[in-house]
Structure 1
């Protein structure tokens, strides 16, 4: 009974990981009559002197640092608003969740048209006397534009997670806090926020993983430009491995990306560990 699952895991997980570690130290190309040769650390040496790599690393870190707190905070506010037992909350939950179930390709194409120089966003800004930039063609605004679109697209998913956490908090705690004269803000800081600890950890991990894996938006909207201002590590890996057919170089980027994600995961585990259980 374990054989089918074991075969799939070996074929699509174990073998690719092993090949990545092997290919990273070779000059293998995707389509080439010449077999790859062992070149040691040459791929890593080239990588650490590649300006595109450092730009991609910087963009990935900036995107993650901004997305994690902003998206989680916006999603939490939305969850608190739709958690009230009033008419119309089901409708708003559905509306907020629609971008999540819409294909990221469709969403990216929609925002691509909205971000054009004469697109909807600049037309709305012109109504209030503001001249909007060429969002995706200006290096100063391109990454910011993708960040805004990514927050809008995924915040509904995390709103649902926050909402599930809110509904696990006993109503009696809020009633007791109200009897003690606690304000709404005091109820949130002393009842709601502590009760969402497990949910916070899950939200933090899922948003971080999604942020580090940024690819589809960049591939459709900017293709890493302008001037590598939106290139990310995942996009650079795919471009190097498939478009430029430098399989060995792409494998080296993947290993560096693996180490980066491993370090961030260890830091997250340390910061979000249960201090009471660790004593």
Structure 2
């Protein structure tokens, strides 16, 4: 048996391998979170840290009492409710159409992969041009005698433009995850179902979807987190307008900290967002798991 000294030396060596990761985690994860939590209870200017003073829970109360912040929360919920189901439906549909390996599907896979190569900023600029007053969409409408659409002047249309961009750019990521999952489904199950006379829709609903349920759960959680953190598309496409009608909760964090100089409220929104995303993710995982396992 090893002596106590030898066991301690062995544990110390093992710990030394973890030390670099722990240092990085503390410096870039735990310490920033602690600072944000501290700032959420402060009031003052980010440009003059000496002006910071305790504010208690006033910053958290302001998030729920000021209509501008509530509007950004409702906008983020709108983006999640709309983009999450439609995005996953589009991704699953395309995955079922393209998961078989052949030359034709390989061409379409290459096309669908293009949005993943383009950055969100570049994609936002492209969509901004396409939907602009003198862009291709309004040009085609004018050619058929229809009036142009002012996408970025109407609150509803501005949010719809953001949704279109997110569906085009974001859904393609999940297509490849679903295709990989479908290609991993054992062919024995499919062959047995066909021998028993199962229809095509029965293969999909009763065999393939249950077998990739954990991948669907993963994609739903990832999509929820992604939609709650929408910033680049809104910043480039609409700047949160018109009249802050398309502003997301993540954009509200940026506006409060760097435009309104309300660092305490910005930190409070960030903490609330983190807790909300954590709660929603746990809820989704619990509900979807219980449904599949029941």
CA contact (8 A) 2:90 2:171 kept: yes
Equivalent of 2:167 in 127, 148, 151: 151
Q: Structure 2 vs 1, CA of residues 276 and 213 (structure 1 numbering), >3 Å: closer, same or farther? A: closer
> Counterparts of 1:1-279 in structure 2 under 5 Å?
1-32=17-48, 34-273=50-289
Question: Hey, what does 2:10 align to over in structure 1?
Answer: none
Q: Structure 2 vs 1, CA of residues 173 and 128 (structure 1 numbering), >3 Å: closer, same or farther? A: farther
**Any unmatched runs of 5+ in structure 1?**
none
Q: Once superposed, what is the RMSD of the aligned Cα atoms? A: 1.8
Q: TM-score, normalised by structure 1?
A: 0.94
List structure 1 runs of 4+ shifted beyond 3 angstroms. Answer: 125-130, 274-277
**Any unmatched runs of 5+ in structure 2?**
1-16
Q: Structure 2 vs 1, CA of residues 276 and 218 (structure 1 numbering), >3 Å: closer, same or farther? A: closer
- The structure with the larger Rg is 2
Deviation readout 1:151-188 (Å, 9 max, x if unpaired): 00112210000001101111122222222222211211
Q: Structure 2 vs 1, CA of residues 52 and 242 (structure 1 numbering), >3 Å: closer, same or farther? A: same
CA distance in 2 between partners of 1:194 and 1:72 (Å): 15
CA distance in 1 between partners of 2:49 and 2:218 (Å): 47
Deviation readout 1:192-232 (Å, 9 max, x if unpaired): 11111111111111111101110000111111110111101
Q: TM-score, normalised by structure 2?
A: 0.89
CA contact (8 A) 2:100 2:183 kept: no
Higher helix share: 2
CA distance in 1 between partners of 2:201 and 2:103 (Å): 23
Partner-residue secondary structure (3-state), 1:245:
coil
Q: Comparing 120-129 with 145-154, which one deviates more in the overlay?
A: 120-129
